Structure formats: structure tokens, C-alpha cells
């Protein structure tokens, strides 16, 4: 908890998330922990991060690193190189801290040729661009700081620098008043030939500019029918273009799935650094102070930046495994016959009901073992229509 004396400790997580909170402005829909700064305090942030990193020793070089935010690309080329160098020193890694996959979230306007080359040289090998839309009025409503031309330029700069793993973010189910052309945005995204596309349905979070607009009657949220229509349309269009939805919100060309995010869905341990970052060790979850200034001050005073922790009992862990597994194309195991298997949250009766409704499908049997030639369970995965009801289905169990 905050207030504890800093102590170096061994971290065995092979997946590291670093939260960089800085943004030029807050987007209409955003409720993330960010710090809006015209000028980014790169040195102050990295000095504080170095103090947090100094309290851990990585058991091995991490397999994946994800630099998220906020807008981590606002640290620039030299800032990202220094950040990865901090992790490399603690984990014994070299370029890119020795990680197999290093993802950097970037706003299109930050992807200048020199910055892209510097990121690649530092070890970043996967770039995630926050495109969101290609329509000027939509980007203006979102309070985005780029235009459509900047998205194409960013992709060109990244490819020219040598990036071979490039992802685009898109938001769907926008207010009716924007008259957004979803098919046009999908088409323009595919024209840039990304390797990965992430889709996010617009949600209304308390305290956001969007929530205030809706409360004042200045905007109306998309009806559920259009949310479903646009989500299923994206599945149709992207699948026809050679993408595979390997998770509810993510589609990739072969061999371009996000390894870091896949680790979350498998429920493996991960370690978070930076303000508001979360960590998980298999039995508990803890999180840092969300405000940049307080997070940095605690570290400067030799105190832990951790703000809280929760311990998960076995039923909670089983429910989380079900939720995370059902997010993915691989699904979950369900015991044959009546009742649930050990550590399973879904029984065969419930699973069959989902299959009959068209929300799920039986995919395959797990491989038999020498002691049990006939598998005792089957694998269940949600269909696209089931993914639309994921929260509802999990809540029901």
C-alpha cells in the first residue's frame, strides 16, 4: 500500500505493462488516468519510473512489454529508448529489454520519420495507432488531435522505418448525430494494409464529456441494434480481408496476434509500472496511485506507489478464467455430463443452452490422455453474436 518503504523484490511476471499518462487533450469518451500536458515532463516521469523500476528485479527478461497510456509516443524517440533501457538494466536484457514483443501505443501525429526509426532502434517492434475514425467531423467530436491524412502518413512513416507489425484502433457505435459511415472507415483502414485491427464499441463512462453531453440532451447514444449491426459488419468485412478474430475486440492477419494482450486473457501473471498500472500474480491484483503527481511524489519520498490490493478466492478465479477464456476464439473447457468440473464456472447444461441460442459453439475435444482416452470435457467458444452478450452471459453464471 502507499506509505510502505520501498524494497527491491523479485518479479517473476514475464509480461510488463508501463503506463505513460500524458495526453495533449482528453478525448470526449475518455475516463482513463491521464495527465493533460502541453509540454510533457519527460525527465520527471522517467526519473520517477526509474525509482519504481529500482524496487524490482526481473527474474528473467520479459517476454512482452506494452507501453500504454495516455499517449506514450509523446515521450519521443529518446524518451522511449531511455524507458526500455531502465527495464533492460533490471532484467538483464539488451535491446528492447530483451522482450520478444514490445508494443508502443501512438497517436498518428507523433509518428514522425525520426521518431519511428528511434523507436525501432530501441527495440519497439509493434506499433498500435489510435486512428479511431477517418471522418473529420468524427475526429473533431472525439477531441482527437489528428486528421485522416495524419493516419496515412503515420502508417507510411512506420513502414518506411521498418515496422512489420502495425495495428489500428477503431471505435464503433457512435452517436446518431455524427452520421458516421462505418463501412467507409473499415475500407480506409484496410487500404492502409495494417496487420492487426482493434475494435472498441463506444461506452458512456461517468464523468466524461460524453456523459455530460448525453445528460444535457446534446447527443444520443447509438441504439443496441446499430451496435450489434456494426460489430457484426466488422466481422464480415475483416474476415473477408484475411483477418481472424482471435478475441472479442481484436482481429489479426496470421501470426500478428498481440502476444502481450493474449497473456492477459490466459490469466498469466503480469506486472504494471507507472500511475494507475495494475499487476496480477495469480492470487491477487494490485494497482498504483492513479494521479501522476502523487505517484511520482510517493516514489521520491521512498514510499510504495501501490494504492490497493485485492485477493481472489477460488470461485472468483474460476469466474475470471471463464470470462477471459470466453473472450477468446479458443474458449473454455466444460465438463461433460451434469455439474461443473473442478475450477470451472460453466456447466454443460448452460453451455448447451448458449449453443442452441446461437451464442456459442462446441469447438473440439481436448486431446485425450493415456489415463483418460475419452476426454472428460469439451471446449466451448462464443460466436460473434455471443461475444456481443459476453458480459450478460458471464453475469448470469
Q: What is the pLDDT of residues 267-302, one digit of tens each?
A: 899 999 999 999 999 899 999 999 999 999 999 999
The sign of the torsion formed by the CA atoms of 72, 190, 265, 95 equals: negative
CATH 3.80.30.20 domain locations along the chain: 9-266
For residue 116, give the nearest of 69, 157, 81, 78 by alpha carbon: 157
Q: What percent of the chain has pLDDT over 70?
A: 90
Q: Is the pLDDT of residue 95 over 60?
A: yes
Q: What is the mean pLDDT of residues 299-312?
A: 96
State how far the Cα of 194 lies from the Cα of 183, in Å rounded to an integer: 16
Residue 64 has pLDDT above 90, yes or no: yes
Q: Is the pLDDT of residue 168 over 60?
A: yes
Q: If you average pLDDT over residues 78-83, what whole number do you get?
A: 95
Which residues are within 8 A (CB) of 292 and not within 5 positions of it... i.e. 6 or more apart?
Answer: 21, 22, 35, 45, 275
Between 182-191 and 224-240, two packed helices, what is the crossing angle to 10 degrees? Answer: 30
- The whole-angstrom separation of Cα 39 and Cα 315 is 46
**Backbone φ and ψ of 311, nearest 5°:** -100, 140
Per-residue buried b or exposed e for 232-251, using 16+ beta carbons within 10 Å of the residue's own CB: eebbebbeeeebebbbbbbb
**Residue owning grid cell 482527437:** 144
β-pair type (166-172, 196-201): parallel
pTM value is 0.92
Greater model confidence, 61 or 106: 106
Average pLDDT over residues 16-24: 94
pLDDT over 60 at 158, yes or no: yes
The answer to whether 151 and 190 have CB atoms below 8 angstroms apart is: no
Kindly indicate the confidence band of residue 97, based on its pLDDT and cuts at 50, 70 and 90: confident
Residue 338 scores a pLDDT above 70? no
Per-residue pLDDT at 35 exceeds 90: no
pLDDT confidence bin for 78, thresholds 50/70/90: very high
Quick one: pLDDT at residue 92? 61
Residue 254: exposure state from Cβ atoms within 10 A (0-12, 13-18, ≥19): exposed
What architecture does CATH give domain 9-266? Alpha-Beta Horseshoe (3.80)
Amino acid at each position: 500500500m502507499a506509505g510502505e518503504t520501498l524494497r527491491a523484490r523479485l518479479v517473476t511476471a514475464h509480461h510488463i505493462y508501463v503506463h505513460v499518462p500524458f495526453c495533449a487533450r482528453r478525448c470526449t469518451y475518455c475516463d482513463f488516468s491521464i495527465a493533460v500536458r502541453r509540454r510533457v515532463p519527460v525527465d520527471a516521469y522517467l526519473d520517477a519510473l526509474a525509482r519504481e523500476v529500482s524496487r524490482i528485479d526481473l527474474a528473467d527478461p520479459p517476454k512482452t512489454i506494452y507501453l500504454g497510456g495516455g499517449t506514450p509516443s509523446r515521450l519521443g524517440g529518446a524518451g522511449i529508448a531511455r524507458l526500455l533501457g531502465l527495464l533492460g538494466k533490471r532484467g538483464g536484457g539488451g535491446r528492447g529489454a530483451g522482450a520478444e514483443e514490445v508494443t508502443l501505443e501512438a497517436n498518428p501525429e507523433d509518428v514522425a520519420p525520426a521518431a519511428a526509426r528511434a523507436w525501432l532502434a530501441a527495440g519497439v517492434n509493434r506499433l498500435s495507432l489510435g486512428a479511431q475514425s477517418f471522418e473529420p467531423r468524427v475526429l473533431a467530436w472525439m477531441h482527437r488531435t489528428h486528421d485522416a491524412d495524419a493516419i496515412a502518413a503515420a502508417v507510411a512513416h512506420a513502414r518506411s522505418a521498418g515496422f512489420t507489425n502495425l495495428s489500428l484502433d477503431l471505435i464503433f457505435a457512435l452517436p446518431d448525430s455524427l452520421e458516421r459511415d462505418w463501412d467507409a472507415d473499415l475500407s480506409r483502414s484496410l487500404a492502409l494494409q495494417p496487420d492487426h485491427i482493434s475494435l472498441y464499441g463506444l461506452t458512456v463512462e461517468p464523468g466524461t464529456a460524453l456523459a455530460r453531453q448525453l445528460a444535457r440532451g446534446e447527443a444520443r447514444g447509438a441504439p443496441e441494434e446499430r451496435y450489434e449491426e456494426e460489430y457484426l459488419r466488422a466481422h464480415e468485412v475483416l474476415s473477408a480481408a484475411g483477418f481472424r478474430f482471435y478475441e472479442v475486440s481484436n482481429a489479426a492477419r496470421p501470426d500478428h496476434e498481440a502476444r502481450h494482450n493474449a497473456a492477459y486473457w490466459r490469466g498469466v501473471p503480469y506486472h504494471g509500472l507507472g500511475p494507475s498500472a495494475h499487476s496480477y500474480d495469480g492470487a491477487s491484483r494490485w494497482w498504483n496511485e492513479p494521479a501522476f503527481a502523487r505517484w511520482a511524489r510517493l516514489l521520491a519520498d521512498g514510499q510504495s506507489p501501490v494504492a490497493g490490493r485485492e485477493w481472489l478466492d477460488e470461485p472468483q478465479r474460476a469466474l475470471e478464467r471463464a470470462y477471459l477464456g470466453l473472450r477468446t476464439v479458443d474458449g473454455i473447457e466444460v465438463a461433460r455430463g451434469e455439474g461443473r468440473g473442478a475450477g470451472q464456472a460453466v456447466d454443460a447444461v448452460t453451455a448447451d443452452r448458449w449453443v442452441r441460442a446461437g451464442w456459442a459453439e462446441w469447438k473440439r475435444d481436448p486431446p485425450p490422455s493415456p489415463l483418460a482416452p475419452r476426454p472428460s470435457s469439451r471446449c466451448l467458444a462464443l460466436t460473434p453474436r455471443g461475444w456481443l452478450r459476453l458480459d450478460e452471459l458471464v453475469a448470469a453464471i
